[in-house]
A and B are shown apart, each in its own frame.
Chain A
């Protein structure tokens, strides 16, 4: 099952990581871990001090004789108040400064970064390269290759969303950035280790938020160039195959082709059948119905299914829609 194949990748990242963190697979990962350990040890020491003091005082000055009155002791001293205000502030300034430096570096991609566009929609990721083809998402269960990038090259991600908020997060690279509909957001990383790293969606986006997984495949420069050449354009493929690849990318996160209901209805053997819509209208599944459902799904919702499909108006070109229609027709 591809499902476990992808998630084994997630487990794989744990073997090389230390107790707290996944594997350091990007230039920035080490820096984040160092900041973490600095704050961790400062906190651990101060935690030990305050809890130790509490326990020590509690035992040393416990009320042995009922009604025992305490010895005299000062109940105010400005100097100690100043001391235990200034010392924590000093530590915090260091924490802020270090975190600030790393964050500024995180938010400004280097000039020569290789840009990849990340598209998110309700419950799947897809990636498009400026000059290469649009590759499918490494959706769990789908054969998509996910985000394929060369190693040791700074990659700039331009993230956008088709419907609701999502968030592109790769724990192994220590990067995370929300996908906000209506605008671009940017993140960048430079992978240092070849391998597969899981991508999680970390901004709640609905029913299958927990299944909006993908992966990043880091290849050596040669393998990447070979892969890029092998992709070619969808247009060169026969329509049914192009439709099938496109279906994996855009539709497979909600529609199955094996008769089982996922979020939307299963689409195999649907062509020509009659569907009863919400509100009782009946419609036969033909080219126009599939086209309208792709562009304006909320207009015709089939009985018993949620009105949760993202409208693809403006995101699929004419021939992409026709490939999808031919593919859906072809599957019995």
Chain B
């Protein structure tokens, strides 16, 4: 297998392998570490109400970086990326409906809690 080791970045005749350039891997890693430190700092500070949203935006940036480069979705067929988006979409759908419903009937729970919790204390 001696010959295959030196044709490093050149495209192989087999057409299967698309190695990601090393520099890009390291660049992505350092960006991710940077974003982690950023999210820890902003996590400590309190923004009026949108600190959860900010944390999620940073996390989504990190996630897309990992997906595109580390999981080389950028080089693969778009259908694979679509599969992943599909799963996130379905989680979002499930989250939205259940959260909407829970928000609606919280009032009934709180009313019951006010009536009953004080007795059991």
Contacts and interface: CB of A to CB of B under 8 A. Distances in A.
Direct contact of A and B (CB under 8 A): yes
Interface of A: 160, 182-186, 313-314
Interface in B70-121: 105, 108-109, 111-113, 116, 119-120
Contacts of B113: 182
B121 to A, nearest CB: 9
Nearest to A314: B120
A185 B108 contact: yes
Contact of B111 (A184, A313, A314): A184
A160 B119 CA distance: 16
A183 B112 contact: yes
A313 B120 CA distance: 7
A184 B119 contact: no
A183 B120 contact: no
Nearest to A317: B119
Interface residues of B, number: 9
A118 to B, nearest CB: 13
B119 A183 contact: no
B120 A160 contact: no
A76 to B, nearest CB: 28
A314 B119 contact: yes
Contact of B109 (A182, A186, A313, A314): A182
A160 to B, nearest CB: 6
A182 B112 CA distance: 7
A73 B116 CA distance: 71
Nearest to A185: B108
Nearest to A313: B120
A182 B109 CA distance: 6
Nearest to B118: A314
A184 B120 contact: no
16 contacts: A160-B112, A182-B109, A182-B112, A182-B113, A183-B108, A183-B109, A183-B111, A183-B112, A184-B108, A184-B111, A184-B112, A185-B108, A313-B120, A314-B116, A314-B119, A314-B120
Instruction: Give 10 nearest A-B pairs by CB, closest first.
Output: A314-B120, A183-B109, A183-B108, A183-B112, A184-B108, A314-B119, A184-B112, A184-B111, A182-B112, A160-B112
Nearest to A315: B119
Contacts of B105: 183
A154 to B, nearest CB: 20
A119 to B, nearest CB: 11
A313 B116 CA distance: 11
A183 B113 CA distance: 7
Contacts of B119: 314
Contacts of B112: 160, 182-184
A15 B63 CA distance: 66
Nearest to A160: B112
A41 B40 CA distance: 63
Contacts of A183: 105, 108-109, 111-112
A182 B113 CA distance: 7
A160 B112 CA distance: 9
Contacts of A314: 116, 119-120
A160 B108 CA distance: 10
Contacts of A182: 109, 112-113
B101 to A, nearest CB: 13
Contacts of A313: 120
A183 to B, nearest CB: 4
A313 to B, nearest CB: 7
A186 B108 CA distance: 9
Given A182-B109, A182-B112, 13 more contacts: A160-B112, A182-B113, A183-B105, A183-B108, A183-B109, A183-B111, A183-B112, A184-B108, A184-B111, A184-B112, A186-B108, A313-B120, A314-B116
